[in-house]
């Protein structure tokens, strides 16, 4: 093992109650909202071909012109309670909200910056409104924070000169001040979701970032911080030089999902996912491949079946309203979750062999196993392979417990489950009651 002063401080999963709850969330919501929602991926009638929340980096817009959007920020349709109720209906159990994205605009009245909601026509504290509204709905809040801050004069991508170094020291103090401010102003927040930590300037700050993480955890015991916050002294990110996860869960699953359990290395993790292929902030153009509710439900089940959580992103418009297409998805997902949430919440990896019909999930701390079915063969029967000596004593539809399914044993641990209905237009869950040699 390599001796590290700033590597991971813990090996293996956290076992405290806060993290146990995080582990069982199953489904979450991400919200990307800021000044970038005003242009919505378009400027002077020209479509920006990147992610809408990155439009400030487009050389088609002078930085000062983008930053003057602050004077247009007055989201008259913003209603945090409506957002929180929509998230509750969808079945989200946590929300990750952008306090400051790469453009540096603060959605809270930070006393360390002039580039905040306080200086906009809207004036009010949006982070507070979101934290309070979601907390009231019983949805835990995680605060997204981008270390990279394009608008700050002391931000550097790389430290090349003495001047860079002096400036970046000021930037580090500014970053620490804002993070302590967020934890102090919004004590209900359960965690911090860091982004914008990949540039050389920050990767070189192993000692500073390590001390800052320690300070934040001391200020807020139980705080949840992912693997993206800091690098070790060798510049290793997410996993330190000994291959040990940095932080409390793996944060690398951005717009991608693992395919097998080995890929998650026994760690906690969540996947954050966009509805369009790669748009986090609001984009006027709702085009390219837009994921359907069934696709998103499959992603949710796949994540839970591999011990993770699925976090679906919403990009509210510049006026604060969530676009109807996203509200419709939330409703469809919520309707399914109402009937089937038992197979998602507080569930994880069952340890069974993956099969074509869909995903196994298992209730944490129990033997209860679920089949979340996405693919019914033309035969209308599901071939089910169980671990050796694991018998099925009972099988029934979760959404209608009276609908029993008679498992026909075809081998010592292989069954045919004949379904009453063949053509399913959405996924369904079969509850399996098993028992060793039942
Ligand atoms: C959670 C997501 N992370 C941000 C990013 C990025 C990014 C940066 C460099 C290369 C590819 C992707 C996106 O803007 C969004 O906030």
Is the shortest distance between the CB of 30 and ligand 1 below 6 Å? no
Cα 286 to Cα 289: distance, rounded to the nearest angstrom: 9
Q: Is the CB of 195 under 6 A from ligand 1?
A: yes
CA 304–ligand 1 middle distance (angstroms): 23
Ligand 1 atom with the smallest distance to the CA of 102 is: 14
Pocket test for ligand 1, best of 53, 148, 279 (most atoms within 8 A of CB): 53
Ligand 1 atom at minimal distance to the Cα of residue 254: 1
In sequence order, the β-bridge partners of residue 434 are 392
270 C-beta closer than 6 A to ligand 1 = no
Give yes or no for residue 240 CB within 6 A of ligand 1: no
Task: Give the pLDDT confidence score for residue 436 in this predicted structure.
Answer: 55
Q: What is the pLDDT along the chain (438 residues), one digit of tens a residue?
A: 999 999 999 999 999 999 999 999 999 999 999 999 999 999 999 999 999 999 999 988 999 999 999 999 999 999 999 999 999 999 999 999 999 999 999 999 999 999 999 999 999 999 999 999 999 999 999 999 999 999 999 999 999 999 999 999 999 999 999 999 999 999 999 999 999 999 999 999 999 999 999 999 999 999 999 999 999 999 999 999 999 999 999 998 999 999 999 999 999 999 999 999 999 999 999 999 999 999 999 999 999 999 999 999 999 999 999 999 999 999 999 999 999 999 999 999 999 999 999 999 999 999 999 999 999 999 889 999 998 888 898 999 999 999 999 899 998 889 999 999 888 999 999 999 987 544
Measure the CA dihedral 51/54/55/56, to 10°.
180
pLDDT of residue 389: 80
Ligand 1 site-directed mutation target among 35, 157, 280, most atoms within 8 Å of CB:
280
103 CB under 6 A from ligand 1?
Answer: no
Ligand 1 atom closest to the CA of 53, numbered from 1: 14
* Residue 313 Cα: closest atom of ligand 1: 1
Pocket flag, ligand 1, residue 51 (CB < 6 Å): yes
Which residue's alpha carbon is nearest to atom 7 within ligand 1?
196
Determine the distance separating the centroid of ligand 1 and the alpha carbon of 280, expressed in angstroms.
8
Nearest ligand 1 atom, CA 272: 1
Ligand 1 atom closest to 30 (CA)? 1
Length of the chain: 438
**Residue 53 near ligand 1, beta carbon < 6 Å:** yes
Measured distance CA(1)–CA(204) in Å, rounded: 21
Ligand 1 midpoint to CA 156 (Å): 18
Q: What is the pLDDT of residue 377?
A: 92
Confirm or reject: Cβ of 376 under 6 Å from ligand 1.
no
What residue's CA is closest to ligand 1, atom 4?
195
Q: Is the CB of 248 under 6 A from ligand 1?
A: no
75 and 320 Cβ atoms separated by less than 8 Å:
yes
Note the pTM of the prediction, 2 decimals. Answer: 0.97
Whole-number Å distance, alpha carbon 31 to ligand 1 midpoint, is 13
Measure the CA–CA gap between 192 and 143, rounded to whole angstroms. Answer: 5
Given this model, what pLDDT does residue 65 score?
97
How many Å lie between the centroid of ligand 1 and the Cα of residue 309? 19
Cβ(272) to ligand 1 under 6 A?
yes
Name the residue among 119, 190, 82 with its Cα closest to residue 182. 190
CA pair distance 27, 18, nearest whole angstrom: 16
């Amino acid at each position: 093992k390599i001796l590290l002063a700033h590597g991971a401080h813990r090996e293996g999963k956290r076992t405290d109650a806060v993290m146990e709850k995080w582990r069982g969330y199953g489904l979450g919501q991400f919200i990307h909202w800021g000044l970038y929602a005003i242009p919505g991926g378009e400027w002077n009638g020209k479509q920006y071909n990147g992610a809408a929340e990155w439009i400030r980096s487009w050389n088609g817009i002078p930085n000062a012109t983008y930053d003057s959007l602050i004077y247009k920020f007055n989201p008259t349709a913003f209603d945090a309670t409506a957002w929180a109720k929509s998230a509750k209906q969808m079945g989200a159990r946590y929300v990750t909200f952008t306090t400051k994205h790469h453009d540096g605009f603060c959605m809270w009245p930070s006393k360390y910056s002039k580039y905040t909601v306080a200086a906009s026509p809207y004036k009010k504290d949006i982070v507070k409104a979101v934290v309070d509204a979601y907390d009231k709905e019983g949805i835990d809040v995680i605060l997204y924070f981008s270390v990279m801050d394009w608008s700050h004069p002391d931000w550097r991508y790389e430290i090349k000169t003495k001047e860079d170094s002096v400036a970046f020291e000021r930037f580090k103090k500014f970053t620490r001040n804002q993070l302590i401010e967020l934890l102090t102003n919004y004590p209900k927040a359960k965690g911090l979701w860091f982004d914008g930590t990949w540039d050389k300037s920050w990767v070189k700050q192993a000692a500073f970032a390590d001390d800052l993480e320690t300070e934040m955890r001391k200020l807020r015991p139980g705080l949840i911080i992912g693997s993206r916050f800091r690098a070790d002294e060798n510049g290793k990110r997410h996993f330190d030089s000994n291959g040990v996860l940095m932080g409390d869960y793996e944060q690398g699953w951005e717009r991608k999902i693992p395919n097998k359990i080995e890929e998650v290395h026994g760690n906690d993790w969540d996947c954050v996912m966009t509805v369009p292929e790669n748009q986090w902030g609001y984009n006027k153009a709702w085009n390219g491949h837009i994921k359907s509710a069934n696709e998103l439900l499959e992603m949710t089940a796949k994540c839970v079946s591999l011990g993770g959580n699925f976090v679906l992103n919403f990009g509210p418009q510049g006026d604060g309203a969530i676009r109807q297409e996203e509200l419709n998805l939330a409703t469809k997902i919520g309707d399914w979750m109402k009937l089937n949430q038992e197979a998602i919440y507080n569930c994880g990896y069952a340890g069974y062999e993956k099969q074509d019909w869909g995903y196994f999930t298992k209730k944490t701390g129990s033997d209860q196993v679920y089949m979340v079915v996405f693919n019914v063969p033309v035969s209308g029967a599901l071939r089910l392979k169980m671990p050796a000596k694991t018998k099925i004593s009972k099988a029934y539809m979760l959404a209608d417990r009276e609908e029993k399914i008679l498992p026909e044993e075809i081998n010592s641990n292989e069954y045919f489950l004949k379904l009453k209905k063949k053509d399913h237009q959405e996924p369904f869950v079969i509850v399996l009651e098993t028992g060793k040699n039942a």
